[in-house]
Structure 1
Amino acid sequence: MKILALDTTSGSCSVALNDGGRLTEQFVAAERDHTRRLLPMVDRVLAEAGLKLAQLDALAVSRGPGSFTGLRIAISSVQGLAFAAGLPVIPVSSLAALAAGARRKHPEWHAGTIVAALDARMQQVYWGAYSPAAPAESIVPEAVEDPAEATASLSAAGIEGALYGAGPGWHYPELAAAPVAAIDLDCPIHARDLAELALPLAQAGKAVSAEQLEPVYLRNEVTWKKRQKIRPQ
């Protein structure tokens, strides 16, 4: 199966092709210019593989959480490509991709649960926990919380085995107090990990049409729930 994955969730921009397990990636650590960089990177990855867009089986993209602007850039780009080539899209959690990249970087973490955390600004973090048995789905619901709340939630989850922290969200001292064996702040999201996670999701029937593709912001969902609670009945 040939899957092309795109990511602009955070401070990097990457495109990768998973061609039957053979991975090709273009990766740039860049806070800006994602819109200008992304489609030329798609062209380079496809050219390197000797493929046309229409020869792919599916596209994959970070569905979030992450930067609002970054998510919109990747998702709108994938929607345009999907419409043009009539391809399905596989939404992949950006936190799951972050955790997968950390597991790839740290082979010694292979048997543990990786707690991925992105800085959500406003003194909050996006976080989720990913086991080697189900790397694309968080053990607990992905959440946006204050660092101290995230630490309490993680402790209350009662996850068995070793825990490891990955991602820039771990810079908050309150989160760093969580019961993890090690922390790596420098774990950018790579499209190659999206492309690998996308394959079992596609096989499980998780692909959607371009029209159905929507970002997962988490913060919007939390804000809506709070409004629901305080709205007079």
Structure 2
Amino acid sequence: MNLLAIETATESCSVALLCGERIIARSELAPRRHAELLLPMCDAVLAEAGLARSALDGVAVGRGPGAFTGVRLAIAAAQGIALALDIAVVPVSSLAALALQAPPDDAAILAVIDARMGEIYAGTFRRGSDGLVTALGAESVGRAAELELPRAPAWNVIGSGWATYAPALRERLPAAPRWADAACHPQAADVAVLAAPLLRAGQGVPPEQALPVYLRDKVALTLAEQQAGRAAAKSPA
């Protein structure tokens, strides 16, 4: 099976090609350069594998949540490639792809991406016997201090949300994280790993049905909301 994967929901722009059991990947931390890098990365992994686009069996894509522009770019690119080749698209949660990078132990996994505006995108996962991750609940967006977690005795935490909101997130956990890494971003290689069994099972969708997941419909705070936030921050408790 030849599966091309795309993930641009965060600052990291990444592409991967699952070719049989081999994964060829490109990844770069490049805020605001995703549109410039994405298609050349696709061409590069195909060239390294010696494959034409026509040899692809499907396209996997990180569907978000994440930066609006990045999520839209990934979905549009996946749709365009799949439509041209008449192949299926497999949308994968960007939070699930992030969670797959956590240590392969029995701790529950909290994947958190900084959503700006004082909020985080969050998803909770458990690693299965197959090494993949399954969701423990619905993904959410909101304030770290208000995050609701399912019960679990131990947690691993991964993602940029930990860098910004670690103190608030610690208050939501039953104990200190067994492991935490704030420097990780969702990667196309992990999108490919999660998408491969779905494609094999015939669970890909037509390109037009591959839709982004934003979790919220607001890009930024208004000026009035920013001023109110600053005033609240200065007010005595």
2:172 is the counterpart of 1:195: no
Match of 1:166 in 2: 158
Aligned-residue identity in percent: 45
Q: Report matched runs for 1:31-50 at 5 Å.
A: 31-50=31-50
In structure 2, give the amino acid aligned to 1:163: W
Q: Which runs of 4+ in 1 moved over 3 A?
A: 134-137
Aligned residues: 211
Q: What 5-or-longer segments of structure 2 have no aligned partner?
A: 219-237
CA distance in 1, matches of 2:115, 2:17: 28
- Post-superposition shift, 1:32? 1.5
* Matched-pair contact (CA < 8 Å) for 2:99–2:133: no
2:105 is the counterpart of 1:110: yes
- Post-superposition shift, 1:136? 4.5
CA distance in 1, matches of 2:83, 2:199: 18
Tell me the TM-score normalised to structure 2 length.
Answer: 0.84
Q: What 5-or-longer segments of structure 1 have no aligned partner?
A: 104-108, 222-233
Q: Report matched runs for 1:1-233 at 5 Å.
A: 1-103=1-103, 109-133=104-128, 135-150=132-147, 153-154=148-149, 157-159=150-152, 161-170=153-162, 171-172=164-165, 173-179=167-173, 180-220=177-217
* Matched-pair contact (CA < 8 Å) for 1:93–1:136: no
In structure 2, give the amino acid aligned to 1:53: R
* Matched-pair contact (CA < 8 Å) for 2:145–2:168: yes
- Post-superposition shift, 1:219? 1.2
CA distance in 2, matches of 1:9, 1:80: 17
Backbone CA RMSD of aligned residues: 1.6
What secondary structure sits across from 2:135 in the alignment? coil
* Matched-pair contact (CA < 8 Å) for 1:102–1:187: no
Q: Which has the higher helix share?
A: 1
CA distance in 1, matches of 2:197, 2:125: 15
In structure 1, give the amino acid aligned to 2:116: R
In structure 2, give the amino acid aligned to 1:54: S
Match of 1:229 in 2: none
Match of 1:106 in 2: none
CA distance in 2, matches of 1:53, 1:101: 28
Residue deviations 1:146-197 (CA, integer Å, cap 9, x gap): 10111xx11xx213x4211100111212113332323210111111111101
- Post-superposition shift, 1:112? 1.9
Residue deviations 1:126-149 (CA, integer Å, cap 9, x gap): 111111118443111111121011
Which segment drifts farther, 203-212 or 37-46? 203-212
